[in-house]
Amino acid sequence: MEKNYASFWINCKKIYSTNDGLTLISGLYYGREVLGLQWDDRYPSSRGKLVPFYLDDEMGKLLLSGLLQKAIINHDQEMFKHISQAIEFLEINK
């Protein structure tokens, strides 16, 4: 993602995005691999820089669990692949 992120968010990658603009990302947050949330590549922001919401491990797992269930129910292979990659990301970067 070539966005103008705040300095404490580095190497951000989009994992999943909804039709209404909610985007789940992974990246380095103060040097730690974490998940974050943002909307429409513009919010939340501060001083013209994107500042995604940081998700702690528990919240990240809860969100991914719900999205994985949605992918299974809707038989959405692409969504399943992306959410599975995010789950692996969390497991690898404990």
Q: Taking residues 72-85, report their average pLDDT.
A: 93
Helix H or strand E segment including 13: strand 9-17
Kindly tell me if the per-residue pLDDT of 19 is higher than 60.
Answer: yes
Looking at beta carbons, which pairs linking 27-36 to residues 24 or more positions away fall under 8 Å?
27/52, 29/54, 32/93, 33/89, 33/93, 34/60, 34/93, 35/60, 35/63, 35/64, 35/86, 35/89, 35/90, 36/9, 36/12
Look up residue 11 and give its two tokens: 């190497």
Kindly tell me if the per-residue pLDDT of 41 is higher than 80.
Answer: no
pLDDT classification of 80: cutoffs 50, 70, 90: very high
Kindly tell me if the per-residue pLDDT of 47 is higher than 80.
Answer: yes
* Residue entry with tokens 């730690």: 32
Kindly tell me if the per-residue pLDDT of 1 is higher than 50.
Answer: no
Which tens digits make up the pLDDT trace of 5-17?
888 888 888 888 8
